[in-house]
Amino acid sequence: SAVISQKPSRDICQRGTSLTIQCQVDSQVTMMFWYRQQPGQSLTLIATANQGSEATYESGFVIDKFPISRPNLTFSTLTVSNMSPEDSSIYLCSVEGGINYGYTFGSGTRLTVV
């Protein structure tokens, strides 16, 4: 299955600033997915990123707050903009691993906004 490198692994940021999270995959994939995991909670899909087109956002998430880039088939970025303490979460990227491999996840970015 695919191997995902995600960085940074953690960061502490001031409110009002923005953080860009990078996700690198070791193979070409059509779709990449970004999730948020709030403290003690499950994973919620933020958006699906396709190469060459705008990301598709889930209900409750908007492009101005979470702009996504997908410049090629192995890389994507998620920016958390104008951060507030409520944005403190783990952000994870994921790709389809193929049949019998489900979806593979990066190790996540633990964001704390102070």
Partner 1 sequence: GQQLNQSPQSMFIQEGEDVSMNCTSSSIFNTWLWYKQDPGEGPVLLIALYKAGELTSNGRLTAQFGITRKDSFLNISASIPSDVGIYFCAGQPAGTASKLTFGTGTRLQVML
Minimum distance of partner 1 from residue 90's CB (angstroms) = 8
Q: Does 29 bind partner 1 (CB under 8 A)?
A: no
| 45-84 residues near partner 1, rule: CB under 8 A | 45, 48, 58-60
- Which of 25, 49, 83, 92 forms a contact with partner 1 (CB under 8 A)? 92
How far from 10 is each of 50, 60, 69, 110, CA to CA, in Å?
25, 24, 20, 4
* 34 and 68 Cβ atoms separated by less than 8 Å: yes
Q: Judged by CB, which is closer to partner 1: 33, or 113?
A: 33
Options 14-22, 64-72, 78-86, 99-107: segment touching partner 1 (CB under 8 A): 99-107
Q: Measuring CA to CA, which residue among 103, 108, 52 is closest to residue 78? A: 108
How far from 99 is each of 4, 19, 23, 46, 90, CA to CA, in Å?
17, 33, 22, 23, 27
Q: Measuring CA to CA, which residue among 41, 48, 6 is closest to residue 23? A: 6
Minimum distance of partner 1 from residue 14's CB (angstroms) = 23
Which spans of this chain sit near partner 1 (rule: CB under 8 A)? 1, 4, 6, 31, 33, 41-45, 48, 58-60, 92, 94, 96-97, 99-108, 110
